[in-house]
Homo-oligomer: A and B are copies of this chain.
Amino acid sequence: MPNGRFATALHLLTLLHVKEGELLSSDYMAGSVNVNPAVVRKELKNLGDHGLVSSKEGRGGGYALGKPAVQIYLSDVYRIVSERPVLGRTNDPNPDCPVGKQINDHLGDLYHRADEVLLAELGQLTLEVFGRKFD
């Protein structure tokens, strides 16, 4: 994962948690994260599709958590924003080479285990616990 989507998503969720009770606009949140409002809306829509965020359209609308922060695990966030395995992508090796023919299968196993341990680690933290670190 070369990008900053995890950081962005967790920042957004933390804002929603810290300001629980109010509806936050994408413009406001974009100002805190320092990214474009349209990017915020896209990411929040994505998180919303997975139940972590709810939204209200129209004037006076905005975003809120879609479920209690104690039920949002950081592993959920990771799963939602990262489409590629942690260890990166694989190549398209030469099938005529004994190593090339088999390497992707073995890399696949390894990548899978790496994702597992990462998810296990992130699964130990909820948004509520993470949010306690903030004043």
* Interface set of A (CB-CB < 8 Å, partner B): 1-8, 10-11, 14-15, 18, 31-35, 74, 78, 84, 86-94, 97-100, 102-103, 106-107, 110, 113-114, 117-118, 120-122, 125, 130, 133-135
Contacts and interface: CB of A to CB of B under 8 A. Distances in A.
Contacts of A122: 110, 114
A10 B110 CA distance: 11
Given A2-B2, A33-B93, A34-B100, 8 more contacts: A2-B3, A2-B89, A3-B89, A33-B100, A34-B91, A34-B94, A113-B121, A117-B117
Contacts of A88: 1-7
A100 to B, nearest CB: 5
